[in-house]
Amino acid sequence: MNESLLINISIALLFLPLLGFATVIFLGKKVPKIYLFEVFIVGIALIATMALMFVKLAYYQSHDIIMAFNWFSIGIAGMKDSFTVELGIKLDNLAVIMLFVVYLISFLVHLYSIEYMRGDKRYNRYFAYLGIFTFSMLGIVLTHNILMMYIFWELVGLSSYLLIGFWFEKKSASDAGKKAFLVNRVGDIGMFIGIMILFTHYKTFTFDTIFAQMALGNIPFNSTWVLTATGILIFMGAVGKSAQFPLHVWLPDAMEGPTPVSALIHAATMVAAGVYLLTKIFVMLTADAMLTIAVIGGITSFVAATIAITQNDIKKVLAYSTVSQLGYMVLSIGVGAYAFAFFHLVTHAFFKACLFLGSGSVIHSMHHEQDIREMGGLRKKMPITYYTFLVATLAISGIPLTSGFLSKDSLLAGTLAFGKLTGHWLLPAIGFLVAALTAFYMFRLVILTFHGKPKNQHKFDHAHESPFVMAAPLVVLATLSIFFFYTPNPLSAGDGWFISDWVKTPHTVVPASAAFDFMVDHSAAHSAKAINNDAHSATNSSEAVTNKSHSSEANSSAHGEITHSELYTETMHWAHYPAMFASLIVAGLGILLAFVFYQWRKVDADKLAESIKPIYKFSLNKWYIDEIYNATVIAGTLVLARFLSLFDGKVVDGAVNGAGHTTKFISRLGGWFDTFVVDGFVNFTAFVSGFIGLSFRRLQTGKVQTYLVLVIFSVIIILLVIRPF
Amino acid sequence: MINVGLNHFLIVSGILFSLGLYAVVTRKNAVMVLMGIELILNAANINFIAFSKFGNLGLTGQVTALFVIVLAAAEAAIALAIVLNIYKTFNNVNVDEIDHLKD
């Protein structure tokens, strides 16, 4: 396979789900079985994706493939203020891995939905929506410029809205859809402003060109402050999409959508798009921006974890756990542990999709019961669901031999190293606390759902293991939660191919003064020169060659080198074992506590909750964040709206009505004038003509003799007047 | 014996013309109107001859007078034909009652 073939395959992969969407949406009413076409398309695409990923990772590992073409140009090329907007595809290691993750989970969810959604009256439309979602998500993954990313960013927002509100007859579902859409808009405004700052300065949307310019020291408006602001503004998009505090409120509500959708969009792929965006802009983040991101991520993971402890809805617990894990990833980006953030994204996508699909399996068999207080004892009845759910739970809790342990442990090591290097010890502290909380609430969920005695005998009797198409995805995803897909050493991710070969931390392009010290490699004397050369060639190549696929030699350096300073590498080594032991201890502690509370019932959880009622209530009510928003933002908006409506009613309408009245008055005046003056004049003219006509009519007797007399008199008069003699 | 000159002729011709005109304007019978026209023509003839006699113009005036007489005859023939047609249409020849020109 050569490069152009890879690009062509990736373009086909991008548009295949769109084809599925169009086919299913247009033929859905006529051909009841058309949804199978969509499933088939995604299945075929998954196979192609595996081939693509294999080739990219095996043969083009440190070699990114870019294809771009001019979309449109404004102005004359070379003139001031002229620019060209490009569309393009960039295949780097992250993109192909994400491509695989998206397609795999999308395919499994398609498969799963065949059974889960059976009997729904909008069955075909559901699959069409899944298709458009997959298309939009792939657009984000494959794009090489931030404008296209923004377009697809909004498209996933749309498909998310459509799928959350899929059962729109339910008020709560349609409300949740609107909430998700609006909350995302808030973040997107920031992202848009950030994009516009970049565009205003660089006259391009292409990531590589922008970063190449930055590496040359050409930063927006020549101010690191603006660069920081730009980073944070673009991060706002991720705050919305990845449900970071304080915009996380939409994600738990999004659980109103069908459960497979929650697994695909609101756990594994779309919400990870924010983190993926952060990996894209990672190189342009300044120290301040990174610290902001880390703090937001830390707060998010902590807030969500504390809320998840007390939730009783199986999907709500998983939703908050998703928010918490996304907070982890963002935190990880913020502390500079780029590769581990992406690693956690991938592992989390698999085990969280597994958890969601498992919960869907439980909900399906319990006749849409979602309250874990009504469940219990399902272990015997649903063994496949139980064991896959358990594996995924172990993974998310960070137990060795699972993928979650690898990613979480290295992520926590990253925060620990960050703490040691910069003195921000609170961030690793929060990280470990959240790890304990995660283990606790996940095992609480498992124990309450699957262990113990059934609490609702009637529903329990109904419960049954799910059919093959629902169980198979669970098994696949649970298998992918095992360590050996990522590394041969179950204790260290760094030894594995995922971290050491595939995902390399790119070189920061921020001026050294604005970046964290440990991000800049001081020891490499050649680095500055190398960057300059790379930047030059990158600029040249992206300017000169746009219309055909080309490999960017320059970009290979962006992903080929580990560019942290030696100090950072040393600190990471130092942090590795403490982080591992600490995370093991906190995870074990969390699991132990969960067993003490809910399995062995040594301590009565309800009594404990009663004794610390304010805290319990605070957590149960989700920190009252929704209430705060209701009281401030929403109430404020309503007050403003009411005021504006009043203003509209009184002032604007008054002005309009006044204008109307004035016009009416003037027209009445005009009408009066018309009737009496203009018409009068016309009538008068007619009357005069008539009068004259009447008088002259007498002369017209028709008698020749009269005429003759007149002629004679006329002649006499003329003769008298002219006097010719 | 008064010496008869041009003026006398012109006076006679003027009187004749006036009488003719009067007849044309006042008579009700179409035939009478025609006779008035004849008087007018003859007044003109007198003028031609008088000017011919006193104006040293040769015979031109007299020839013209002869021509007018012929013309009058032709005119009378046509006019009488018209009157006959009028009579056929209106059952009388009273010019007062023929006012179709009004329409």
What is the 3-class SS of A483-508, one letter each residue?
A: HHHCCCCCCCHHHCHHHHHHCCCCCC
**Does residue A702 sit at the B interface (CB-CB below 8 Å)?**
yes
**Does residue A700 sit at the B interface (CB-CB below 8 Å)?**
yes
Separation CA A430–CA A586 (nearest Å): 12
Residues of B within 8 A of A708 (CB-CB) are 24-25
**Sign (positive/negative) of CA torsion B86, B89, B95, B101?**
negative
Average pLDDT across chain A, whole number: 83
Quick one: pLDDT at residue A563? 54
Quick one: pLDDT at residue A210? 87
Residues pairing with A83 in the sheet: A74
Q: Outline where A561-703 has alpha helix (H).
A: 566-594, 605-611, 613-620, 625-629, 635-647, 653-673, 679-697
Q: Ranked by mean pLDDT, which of A117-126, A489-498, A663-672 comes out on top?
A: A663-672
- Region A352-378: what's the mean pLDDT? 84
Residues of A within 8 A of B24 (CB-CB) are 705, 708
Instruction: Among A161-165, A190-194, A353-357, A488-492, name the one with the lowest average pLDDT.
Output: A488-492
Contact between A476 and A105 (Cβ < 8 Å): no
Tell me the nearest-neighbour CA distance from A706 into chain B, angstroms: 8
How far from A190 is each of A197, A234, A238, A241, CA to CA, in Å?
11, 6, 10, 12
> pLDDT tier at A521 (50, 70, 90 boundaries)?
low
At B11-70, the pLDDT tens digits run 999 999 999 999 998 888 888 999 999 999 999 999 999 888 888 778 888 899 999 999
Contact A702 B21 (CB under 8 A): no
The DSSP result for A300-368, as a single string, is HHHHHHHHHTT--BHHHHHHHHHHHHHHHHHHHHHTT-HHHHHHHHHHHHHHHHHHHHHHHHHHHHTTS
Q: Is the residue at B1 inside a domain?
A: no
Q: Which residue has the higher pLDDT, A40 or A532?
A: A40
From the list A134, A105, A117, A40, the residue with the least C-alpha distance to A474 is A105
The yes-or-no verdict on residue A544 having pLDDT over 80 is no
Nearest chain B Cα to A703, which residue?
A: B99
**Does residue A709 sit at the B interface (CB-CB below 8 Å)?**
yes
Q: Is the residue at B34 inside a domain?
A: yes
- Among partner residues A701, A702, A708, which is closest to B24 by beta-carbon distance? A708
- Region A400-429: what's the mean pLDDT? 86
Contact A702 B24 (CB under 8 A): no
Contact between A53 and A111 (Cβ < 8 Å): no
The yes-or-no verdict on residue A541 having pLDDT over 60 is no
Within 8 A by CB and 6+ apart from A674, the residues are: none
**DSSP class of A399:** -
Q: Outline where chain B has alpha helix (H).
A: 6-26, 30-54, 60-90
Question: Dihedrals φ, ψ of A376, to 5°?
Answer: 120, 145
Of chain B residues 2-61, which have a CB less than 8 A from chain A?
21, 24-26, 33
Residue of A703, A706, A710 to mutate when probing chain B, most B C-beta within 10 A? A703
**Does residue A701 sit at the B interface (CB-CB below 8 Å)?**
yes
**Does residue A712 sit at the B interface (CB-CB below 8 Å)?**
yes
Quick one: pLDDT at residue A691? 92
Separation CA A568–CA A93 (nearest Å): 23
Q: Which residue has the higher pLDDT, A551 or A417?
A: A417
- Among partner residues B21, B26, B96, which is closest to A703 by beta-carbon distance? B96
Tell me the nearest-neighbour CA distance from A682 into chain B, angstroms: 28
At A646-661, the pLDDT tens digits run 998 888 889 999 999 9
Q: List the structure tokens of A253.
A: 């509500």
At A688-713, the pLDDT tens digits run 999 998 888 877 777 888 888 889 99
The yes-or-no verdict on residue A609 having pLDDT over 80 is no
- Could you tell me how many CB contacts below 8 A there are between chain A and chain B? 29
How far from B37 is each of A139, B32, B40, B43, CA to CA, in Å?
113, 9, 5, 10
Tell me the nearest-neighbour CA distance from B25 into chain A, angstroms: 5
Contact B95 A702 (CB under 8 A): no
Contact A708 B25 (CB under 8 A): yes
Contact between A53 and A97 (Cβ < 8 Å): yes
Q: Outline where A117-206 has alpha helix (H).
A: 123-142, 146-164, 171-202
Contact A703 B21 (CB under 8 A): no
Tell me the nearest-neighbour CA distance from B90 into chain A, angstroms: 14
Contact A700 B102 (CB under 8 A): yes
At A72-92, the pLDDT tens digits run 888 777 777 778 888 888 888
- Among partner residues B25, B100, B103, which is closest to A705 by beta-carbon distance? B25
Q: Is the residue at B73 inside a domain?
A: yes
The yes-or-no verdict on residue A554 having pLDDT over 50 is no
Quick one: pLDDT at residue B1? 58
Q: Is the residue at B103 inside a domain?
A: no
At A130-144, the pLDDT tens digits run 899 999 999 999 998
Residues of A within 8 A of B102 (CB-CB) are 700-702
Quick one: pLDDT at residue A526? 42
Buried b (16+ CB within 10 A) or exposed e, A598-628: beeeeeebeeebeeeeeebeebeebeeeeee
From the list A307, A254, A299, the residue with the least C-alpha distance to A622 is A307
At A285-295, the pLDDT tens digits run 888 888 999 99
Contact B102 A701 (CB under 8 A): yes
The yes-or-no verdict on residue A70 having pLDDT over 90 is no
Nearest chain B Cα to A712, which residue?
A: B21
Contact B102 A712 (CB under 8 A): no
**Does residue A696 sit at the B interface (CB-CB below 8 Å)?**
no
Quick one: pLDDT at residue A564? 63
The yes-or-no verdict on residue A531 having pLDDT over 60 is no
* Percentage of chain A exceeding pLDDT 90: 15
What helix, strand, coil percent values describe chain A, rounded to 5?
75, 5, 20
Angle at A258 between CA A453 and CA A344, to 5 degrees: 80
Q: If DSSP codes are grouped into helix, strand and coil, which group holds residue A393?
A: helix
Identify the H or E element spanning A86. strand A83-91
Contact A702 B101 (CB under 8 A): yes
Nearest chain A Cα to B25, which residue?
A: A705
Residues of B within 8 A of A710 (CB-CB) are none
Contact B95 A708 (CB under 8 A): no
Nearest chain A Cα to B33, which residue?
A: A705
> pLDDT tier at A522 (50, 70, 90 boundaries)?
low
Residues of A within 8 A of B95 (CB-CB) are 703-705
> pLDDT tier at A546 (50, 70, 90 boundaries)?
very low
Tell me the nearest-neighbour CA distance from B40 into chain A, angstroms: 14
Separation CA A187–CA A249 (nearest Å): 12
Buried b (16+ CB within 10 A) or exposed e, A124-139: bbbbbbbbbbbbbbbb
Q: Is the residue at B100 inside a domain?
A: no
Quick one: pLDDT at residue A467? 83
How buried is A458 (Cβ within 10 angstroms: 0-12 exposed, 13-18 middle, 19+ buried)? exposed
Residues of A within 8 A of B79 (CB-CB) are none
Contact between A678 and A686 (Cβ < 8 Å): no
- Looking at the 3D structure of chain B, how many domains does it have? 1
Residues of B within 8 A of A707 (CB-CB) are 101
Q: Ranked by mean pLDDT, which of A239-243, A441-445, A621-625, A663-667 comes out on top?
A: A663-667
Q: Is the residue at B53 inside a domain?
A: yes
How buried is B76 (Cβ within 10 angstroms: 0-12 exposed, 13-18 middle, 19+ buried)? middle
Q: List the structure tokens of A229.
A: 């602001």
Tell me the nearest-neighbour CA distance from B103 into chain A, angstroms: 7
Contact A703 B25 (CB under 8 A): no
Q: Domain containing B22: what range?
A: 7-92
- Domain with B35 in it: what CATH number? 1.10.287.3510
Residues of B within 8 A of A709 (CB-CB) are 25
Residues of B within 8 A of A703 (CB-CB) are 95-96, 98-99, 101
At A557-584, the pLDDT tens digits run 343 444 566 777 778 878 888 888 888 8
- Among partner residues B21, B99, B103, which is closest to A703 by beta-carbon distance? B99
Nearest chain B Cα to A709, which residue?
A: B25
> pLDDT tier at A409 (50, 70, 90 boundaries)?
confident
Quick one: pLDDT at residue B59? 85
Tell me the nearest-neighbour CA distance from A688 into chain B, angstroms: 22
Instruction: Among A137-151, A410-424, B61-75, name the one with the lowest average pLDDT.
Output: A410-424
Tell me the nearest-neighbour CA distance from B4 into chain A, angstroms: 24
Contact A703 B24 (CB under 8 A): no
Q: What is the 3-state secondary structure (H, E, C) of A512-558?
A: CCCCCHHHCCCCCCCHHHHHHHHHHHHHHHHHHCCCCCEECHHHHHH
